[in-house]
Chains A and B, each alone.
Chain A
Amino acid sequence: MRNNENSPIVIEDLRKSFGEQKVLNGIDLAVKGGETLAVLGRSGTGKSVLLKLIVGLEKPDSGSIRVLGQDIAKMDRDRLNEIRKKIGFLFQSAALYDSLTVEENVAFPLARHTKMSEAERTTRARELLSAVGMENGLKKLPSEISGGMQKRVGLARALALDPEILLFDEPMAGLDPITAAEIGKLIVEQQKQRNITSVVVTHEIHSARIFADRFVLMNEGKILADGAFDDLRKSRNTFVAEFLREAA
């Protein structure tokens, strides 16, 4: 793992169980700076748990998770929050705050972590929303906009603090193919413009091919394949071959 020292995310022998159920069973993974990694696998194989561990929402049973050079499993809350300010997270359900408007949702992290005035925050929120194609409906509540729009707003909120790392949990889930493709393109655009290190959890391999540089395929808490898409296709592992066949 020595050559991974400069990688923004380095995971070593990560294990996590919930009761008797082993969710992650010895994960080793390093994500290079500026890389977009797609984590593939069936539902319930621990992909979302992996993201939650990276951002400190869950604590590992054993192993280490180094994010931007610091082991987050051993951090106190204040230091963890300093790291979290450098990470953007797009939740599967977008997880927008119900009681805040679209614009307020995006301005929320800015109000807490920057010294911007209210006018500056509004301008910045509008810039971010415009960058994800949300010029209208800024005063609407999340319940008044579509699922695709919610994902866009979620992405704008995730980008608000200019993060060094972006984590996406099933960004295309529940969207029609056209909207899913649009969200995929948005991720690629933001990725190119900002050179952010990204981890995208998904089971939609076609969408993942739009934006990912590298793929890992997980099953039963372990990584079965790791590499470019062609490397996955050449894998002799029966599960990998079956997954790719079914996904096609």
Chain B
Amino acid sequence: MVALVVSFFEWFGELGLFCRRLAHAMLVPPFEGRELVRQLDSIGSKSLPLVAMAGGATGVVLSLQTRASLTTFGAKAMLPAVIIFSIIKESGPIITALIVSGRVGAGIGAELGSMKVTEQIDAMEVSAVDPYKFLAATRVIACIAMLPLLTVAANFCGVVMGWLSTTLAQPVSFRYFLESGLRGVTFNDYLPPTLKTAVFGLIIGVVACFQGMRTKGGTEGVGRSATSAVVLCSLFVILADVLLVRLILVFFP
């Protein structure tokens, strides 16, 4: 039990030291522009189909689930607003973050873990190239930059598929669906939840890189790093969401 508590605090201590070196790597030039572009592509555009599909499915599910309830209460006209509000305020951002946690978190954890156990990270350091700058900073920045953009895509697909599902049950034009759903929506409803995903991106990038770069114990260790990266990224994203939603409600009532 004592060992468990000690290792828990050790983990946070090591994470703190990792973040300090990472912050230095992210803020002090030179910057690895070319590698950053590669990571933006790998993390962003390659996650797009998955995120779009998940966003679309969320829209369909929301439409199917809420239609019956709203009909019961005689509030069927509210369906577009319920779908759009749910998607842009919570479902879109959190679904995007969880999908990226799974795809990118596992990918970074396994890739950096494998580089660590095969001494590639040591080789980089010996070549006088800072692995925090080349490997970690580029991935973290790419996660921060791409999460809000992927969220926009997920929101769009969610709204379109929500409309499609709705119109299949009872024909309604897309224009009417949007006008009805967006009535009363302000930028305060849209921007803060979308931009909060940059924090999710920071969490995913930092935790996945940290787990990958501290890998020990050969291929078994790589597997452990990939799994723990996904689990911890998802967990911290959900916990951070609680805090961020509260903060958004305080600052953007």
In the complex, what distance in Å separates the CA atom of A98 from the CA atom of B125? 16
Partner-contacting stretch, out of B93-101, B113-121, B168-176, B220-228: B113-121
Known A-B contacts A93-B118, A93-B119, A97-B120; A112 and B129 likewise in contact (beta carbons under 8 Å): yes
A94 to chain B, nearest CB (A): 9
Q: How many Å from the CB of A206 to the closest CB on chain B?
A: 25
The number of chain B residues touching the other chain, given as a range, is 10 to 19
Contact (Cβ within 8 A) A95 B119 = yes
A66 within 8 A of partner (CB):
no
**Contact A95–B123 (Cβ < 8 Å):** yes
Q: Across the interface, do B127 and A55 meet the contact criterion of CB distance under 8 Å?
A: no
Pairwise interchain contact B128-A57, C-beta atoms closer than 8 A: no
Across-interface contacts of A95 in B (CB, < 8 A): 118-120, 122-123
Contact A109 B127 (CB under 8 A): yes
Assess the A97–B123 pair: CB atoms within 8 A. yes
A229 contacts the other chain (CB 8 A): no
In the complex with contacts A91-B123, A93-B119, A97-B120, A113-B128 CB distance below 8 A: yes
Query: Are A57's CB and B120's CB within 8 A?
Result: no
In whole angstroms, how far apart are the Cα atoms of A157 and B119 in the complex? 15
Q: Answer whether A55 and B126 are a contact pair too, CB < 8 Å, given A98-B114, A98-B115.
A: yes
Residue of A whose beta carbon sits closest to that of B117: A93
A89 lies within 8 A of chain B by Cβ? yes
User: Cβ of B128 and Cβ of A98 under 8 Å apart?
Assistant: no
- Name B124's closest neighbour in chain A (CB-CB): A97
**A201 interface residue per 8 A CB criterion:** no
- Asked if B126 and A89 make an inter-chain contact with CB atoms under 8 angstroms apart, the answer reads yes
Tell which of B122, B124, B126, B130 has the most Cβ of chain A within 10 Å. Answer: B126
Given that A95-B120, A98-B120 are known contacts, is A87 also in contact with B114, CB under 8 Å in the complex? no
Collect the chain A residues with CB atoms within 8 Å of residue B130's CB. Answer: 77, 81
A126 to chain B, nearest CB (A): 19
Assess the A84–B128 pair: CB atoms within 8 A. Answer: yes
- CB-defined contacts of B129 to chain A, threshold 8 Å: 108-109, 112
Q: How far is the CA of A158 from the CA of B129 in the complex (A)?
A: 13
The docked-state distance in angstroms from the alpha carbon of A89 to that of B125 is: 11
**CB of A75 to closest CB in B, whole Å:** 12
Query: A230 near B: Cβ within 8 Å?
Result: no
A42 to chain B minimum Cβ distance, whole angstroms, is 21
Q: Which residues of chain B have C-beta atoms less than 8 A from A84's C-beta?
A: 125-128
Say yes or no: A81-B122 contact (C-beta < 8 A), given A98-B114, A98-B115.
Answer: no
Kindly state the separation between the CA atoms of A23 and B114 in the bound complex, as whole angstroms: 26
Q: Are A91 and B114 in contact (CB under 8 A)?
A: no
Cβ of A96 within 8 Å of any chain B Cβ, yes or no, is yes
Q: Contacts A95-B119, A98-B120; is A112 near B125 (CB within 8 Å)? A: no
B-chain residues with CB within 8 Å of residue A157 when the two chains form the complex: 127
A84-125, CB under 8 A of B: which get 1 and which 0? 110101011101111000000000110011000000000000
Give the 10 A-B residue pairs with the shortest CB-CB distance, closest first.
Answer: A95-B123, A81-B128, A95-B119, A84-B128, A89-B126, A109-B127, A91-B119, A85-B128, A95-B120, A112-B129
Query: Can you sample 26 A-B contacts with CB below 8 Å?
Result: A52-B122, A57-B125, A57-B126, A77-B130, A81-B130, A84-B126, A84-B128, A87-B126, A89-B123, A91-B119, A91-B122, A91-B123, A92-B119, A93-B119, A95-B119, A95-B122, A96-B120, A97-B120, A97-B124, A98-B118, A98-B120, A109-B127, A109-B128, A109-B129, A112-B129, A157-B127
A residues adjacent to B (C-beta < 8 A): 52, 55, 57, 77, 81-82, 84-85, 87, 89, 91-93, 95-98, 108-109, 112-113, 157
Given contacts A84-B127, A84-B128, 14 further A-B contacts (CB under 8 A): A77-B130, A81-B128, A82-B128, A84-B125, A84-B126, A87-B126, A89-B126, A91-B123, A97-B120, A97-B123, A97-B124, A112-B127, A112-B128, A113-B128
